[in-house]
């Protein structure tokens, strides 16, 4: 297998810079322990890039993203660029990277083991044992459909899905279900939307290739409810771009914080079986806590573990990072979002605890 080791680190804005710095420390430690020779190259994106270059994503950074073996992304979003007169929107950086790099499959795992169930704001008996994976279509749907625009007091967006777009994400989801508990829930709004009726039809067609997988269709509103009522009933879920966005913020309350939710955004596999990919926490730049040193770095560090496994082909290094995260949390070392202001510790303290477990030297 080709040795893949060049990682573009796009920290972005707000807590994006804080949690990415934490994940970089962990990647350096794991690189040293496993002799990976990782090359970590910083890049400006989002509001930071607007401030420096007037655009959320420069062509140079896009080229470097294409050339890298993987991308570690923090978060973009800066209230300074929210207004109608802003030169660009920070969020355009992540949307353009996903689209331009063909990162159509967004994997968002959610796990709540028995030991950590007590940390959820939801009832322990409901969330304990949750182990689900949301497969979100990431380069289509209402996020990218044309036409879109604003005409004075009228604005419009277009929801479009084509059968090939649905087919390829369905194959990813069925493939993952085959490696898990062989249950797939396809989430749509087929009682209202034509795109969802096509979605349902195509997913049902693709199911014929995976007779061992039990497929169910669920309307997105009912899914939102069942996610809180009986999350343990889900294995793999597959859904469109916007439904996946919303359902995964909701799902973050199963483990108890957005700061625990990693993600991988993958393009089709390369010949060596690894994927070009971008890895990021599902949360944003959190302007409400930025600069305080209290952001939870776990989602980004867990995203870095996914990067090691899926884009760099380093499953042992990935497992070492995941084990270090689990041990740190199990020992009760966690940030304020998990433990509250009296017991929560800083981003740096959590990071050091994770690094110490990876590289005790």
Ligand X SMILES: NC(=O)c1ccc[n+]([C@@H]2O[C@H](COP(=O)([O-])OP(=O)(O)OC[C@H]3O[C@@H](n4cnc5c(N)ncnc54)[C@H](O)[C@@H]3O)[C@@H](O)[C@H]2O)c1
The answer to whether 294 is a known ligand-binding residue is: yes
Tokens of 268: 């089709």
Among 337, 345, 351, 358, binds ligand X (CB under 6 A): 337
Please name which of 41, 89, 44, 45 lies closest in space to residue 67, comparing C-alpha atoms.
Answer: 41
Choose which of 25, 78, 245, 337 interacts with ligand IPM (CB under 6 A): 245
Phi, psi of 237 (to 5 degrees): -120, 145
Site size for ligand IPM, by CB under 6 A?
6
Q: Which stretch binds ligand IPM (CB under 6 A): 45-53, 88-96, 118-126, 312-320?
A: 88-96
Ligand-binding annotation for 145, yes or no, is no
Q: Does the annotation flag 222 for ligand binding? A: no
CB 140, CB 103: distance < 8 Å: no
Contacts of residue 356, Cβ cutoff 8 Å, sequence gap at least 6: none
Q: Please, which of residues 238-257 interact with Mg ion by CB under 5 A?
A: 245
Per the document, the length of the chain is: 361
- Between CA 114 and CA 287 the distance in angstroms is 32
Q: How far is the CB of 209 from ligand IPM (least distance, A)?
A: 29
Task: Kindly tell me which of 25 and 137 has the beta carbon lying closer to ligand IPM.
Answer: 137
Of 61, 187, 254, 289, the one binding ligand X by CB under 6 A: 289
Name the DSSP class of 118: G
Residue 140 beta carbon to ligand IPM: minimum distance, rounded to whole angstroms:
12
Does residue number 91 form part of the binding site for ligand IPM (CB under 6 A)? Answer: yes
Which residues sit opposite 111 in a β-bridge?
131
CA distance to 97, 124, 140, 185, per residue, from 65 (Å):
8, 41, 20, 33
Site for ligand X in 124-153 (CB under 6 A): none
Tokens standing for residue 9: 């680190």
Answer yes or no: is 221 a known binding residue: yes
Question: How far, in Å, CA of 77 to CA of 94, rounded?
Answer: 10
81, 245, 279, 337: the catalytic one is: 245
| Binding positions for ligand X, 7-46, rule CB under 6 A | 15, 19
Rounded CA-CA distance 349/293 in Å is 10
Of the listed 13, 69, 81, 143, which one is catalytic? 143
What helix, strand, coil percent values describe the chain, rounded to 5? 45, 20, 35
361 is in an annotated binding site: no
Cα separation, 255 vs 124, whole angstroms: 10
The 199-228 site mask, x for binding ligand X (CB under 6 A), equals: ------------------------------
Stretch of 171-179, 222-230, 286-294, 319-327 lying at the interface with ligand X (CB under 6 A) = 286-294
Distance, C-alpha 46 to centroid of its chain: 17
Annotation says 188 is catalytic: no
**Ligand-binding site membership of 166 (annotated):** no
91 near ligand X (CB under 6 A)? yes
> Of ligand X, Mg ion, ligand IPM, none, which one does residue 47 interact with (CB within 5 to 8 Å by kind)?
none
Measured from the CB atom, the residue of 206 and 294 that comes closer to ligand X is 294
CA angle at 337 for the pair 109 and 130, rounded to the nearest 5°:
30
How far apart CA 351 and CA 175 sit, in angstroms, is 34
Between CA 284 and CA 46 the distance in angstroms is 11
123, 24, 21, 101: which is closest to 57 by C-alpha?
101
Residue 248 touching ligand X (CB under 6 A):
no
Rule CB under 6 A: choose which of 95, 96, 228, 323 binds ligand IPM.
95
Query: Would you call 143 a catalytic residue per the annotation?
Result: yes
- The reply, when asked if residue 241 is annotated as ligand binding, is no
Residue from 247, 152, 163 nearest 197 by CA: 163
User: Which parts are annotated binding residues for NAD(+)?
Assistant: 284-296
Catalytic residues: 143, 189, 221, 245, 249
User: Which parts are annotated binding residues for substrate?
Assistant: 98, 108, 136, 221
User: Which parts are annotated binding residues?
Assistant: 98, 108, 136, 221, 245, 249, 284-296
Enumerate binding residues for ligand IPM (CB under 6 A).
Answer: 91, 94-95, 245, 282, 284
Enumerate binding residues for ligand X (CB under 6 A).
Answer: 15, 19, 75-77, 91, 94, 257-259, 280, 283-289, 295-296, 299, 337
């Amino acid at each position: 297998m080709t040795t893949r080791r060049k990682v573009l680190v796009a920290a972005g804005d707000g807590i994006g810079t804080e949690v990415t710095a934490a994940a970089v420390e962990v990647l350096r430690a794991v690189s040293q322990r496993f002799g990976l020779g990782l090359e970590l190259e910083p890049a400006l994106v989002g509001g930071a890039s607007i401030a420096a270059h007037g655009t959320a994503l420069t062509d140079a950074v896009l080229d470097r993203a294409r050339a890298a073996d993987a991308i570690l992304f923090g978060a973009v979003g800066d209230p300074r660029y929210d207004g109608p007169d802003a030169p660009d929107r920070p969020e355009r950086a992540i949307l353009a990277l996903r689209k331009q790099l063909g990162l159509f499959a967004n994997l968002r795992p959610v796990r709540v083991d028995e030991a950590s169930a007590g940390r959820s704001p939801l009832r322990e008996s409901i969330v304990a044992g949750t182990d689900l994976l949301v497969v979100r279509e990431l380069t289509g749907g209402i996020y990218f459909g044309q036409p879109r625009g604003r005409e004075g007091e009228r604005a419009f967006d277009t929801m479009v899905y084509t059968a090939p777009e649905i087919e390829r994400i369905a194959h990813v989801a069925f493939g993952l279900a085959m490696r898990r508990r062989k249950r797939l829930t396809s989430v749509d709004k087929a009682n209202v939307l034509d795109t969802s009726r096509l979605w349902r039809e195509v997913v049902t067609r693709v199911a014929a290739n995976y007779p061992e997988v039990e497929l169910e269709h669920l309307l997105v509103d009912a899914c939102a409810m069942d996610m809180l009522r009986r999350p343990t009933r889900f294995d793999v879920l597959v859904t469109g771009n916007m439904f996946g966005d919303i359902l995964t913020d909701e799902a973050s309350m199963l483990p108890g914080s957005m700061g625990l939710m990693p993600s991988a955004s993958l393009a089709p596999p390369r010949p060596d079986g690894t994927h070009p990919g971008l890895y990021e926490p599902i949360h944003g730049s959190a302007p409400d806590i930025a600069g305080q040193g209290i952001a939870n770095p776990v989602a980004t560090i867990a995203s870095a573990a996914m990067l090691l496994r899926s884009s760099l082909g380093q499953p042992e290094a990935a497992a070492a990072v995941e084990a270090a995260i689990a041990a740190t949390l199990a020992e009760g070392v966690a940030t304020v979002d998990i433990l509250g202001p009296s017991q929560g510790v800083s981003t740096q303290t959590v990071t050091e605890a994770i690094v110490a477990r990876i590289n005790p030297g």
